[in-house]
Amino acid sequence: MENTAVNYSSDKKVMYQEVCTQLKGLIEGVPHLVSNLANASALLNQAMKDINWVGFYLIEEGKLVLGPFQGKPACIEINMGRGVCGTAAAKDEILLVEDVHAFPGHIACDSASRSEIVIPLHANGQVAGVLDIDSPYVGRFDEVDKEGLTEAARILEQELWKDHCENDEYRINNNDGPEILLANLDKLHTTDLGAERIRRNLGLEMEDVVDWCRLKILDSNSSIVRSGKNWYINTDAQEITVNAYSYTIITAHKKRRAGKAE
Ligand code: SME
């Protein structure tokens, strides 16, 4: 799609950092799901080169239903397990498809599409929709796209579902006690960038920082407090922030002294 008006770094990693910063600015504090998804698709469309469709499908009554997007009109309902989107949602797996013609059951909304990436979006630890991006070039998407888009998806998850979560099947009580977090520790996860950030902030070297955080949450000396969209877990030396809708570990940092974060 034509998107020459806005300049982003030609280094894809940096471009995704720019996009994520803009995305936060655009959606933070905006309590409108459709507006946020519409702006997110417009932002990705203006930043990403060589794509012909970018948008969202959201789960409604067990099916993926077309949400805000940029590109040609697309199919409205996709059954779970069907096509690339339905498979990604059913398996809760990011799918990076080099050549859609080689993907059994691919649903061709635009015959120009040749490669595709689909990132599941979560609410309260469950898949609630997908971000779908198509390109007219075979092999357009790589690991850098996967990482950058996963980070964008995590930002969306933190903001998107507030209305949704508080109003319907993803209902979350803002007065939730720590037992809710403890009961959902199997859903705890983070992104590659999140893991890097946590290792760097805390000076950790181990691969599995999620497990390290899980043990801190289970430690009876830790305090667990729900405030707004996040859980805050305080140990004597660190504070860990976990999104209460998606169970994503957002960050963790050392405290300068007891009770005071750096
Ligand atoms: N190709 C997708 C369908 C959605 S459109 O590409 C917008 C799929 O196979 O799930």
Give 220-247 pLDDT, tens digit per residue. Answer: 999 998 877 788 999 989 999 998 888 9
* Residues 161 and 116 grouped into a single domain: yes
pLDDT of residue 125: 74
Q: Give the tokens for residue 134.
A: 């198509």
Q: Is residue 4 part of a domain?
A: no
Average pLDDT of the chain is: 88
pLDDT of residue 260: 45
Which residues of the chain fall short of a pLDDT of 50?
167-171, 258-262
Looking from the CA of residue 74, the nearest atom of ligand 1 is 7
Mutate which of 78, 94, 99 for ligand 1? The one with the most ligand atoms within 8 Å of its CB, which is 78
Protein residues with CB under 6 Å of any ligand 1 atom: 53, 74, 78, 83-86, 106-107, 109, 113, 116, 132, 134
Per-residue pLDDT reduced to its tens digit, 112-127: 999 999 999 988 778 8
* Residues 94 and 223 grouped into a single domain: no
Mutate which of 116, 133, 140, 141 for ligand 1? The one with the most ligand atoms within 8 Å of its CB, which is 116
Q: Is residue 43 part of a domain?
A: yes
Span from the CA of 45 to the centroid of ligand 1 (angstroms): 16
How many distinct structural domains can be found in the chain?
2
pLDDT of residue 171: 46
* Residues 162 and 196 grouped into a single domain: no
Q: Is residue 173 part of a domain?
A: no
Name the domain boundary from 167, 192, 208.
167
Looking from the CA of residue 82, the nearest atom of ligand 1 is 10
Q: Is residue 163 part of a domain?
A: yes
| Terminal alpha carbon distance of the chain | 44
* Residues 77 and 183 grouped into a single domain: no
**How far is CA 120 from each of CA 60, 174, 200, 222, rounded to the nearest angstrom?**
14, 25, 27, 31
* Residues 187 and 120 grouped into a single domain: no
> Residue 116, exposed/middle/buried by CB under 10 A (0-12, 13-18, 19+)?
buried
* Residues 20 and 105 grouped into a single domain: yes
* Residues 38 and 161 grouped into a single domain: yes
Name the domain boundary from 138, 167, 196.
167
pTM of the model: 0.69
pLDDT of residue 175: 64
* Residues 153 and 251 grouped into a single domain: no
* Residues 115 and 185 grouped into a single domain: no
Q: Is residue 7 part of a domain?
A: no
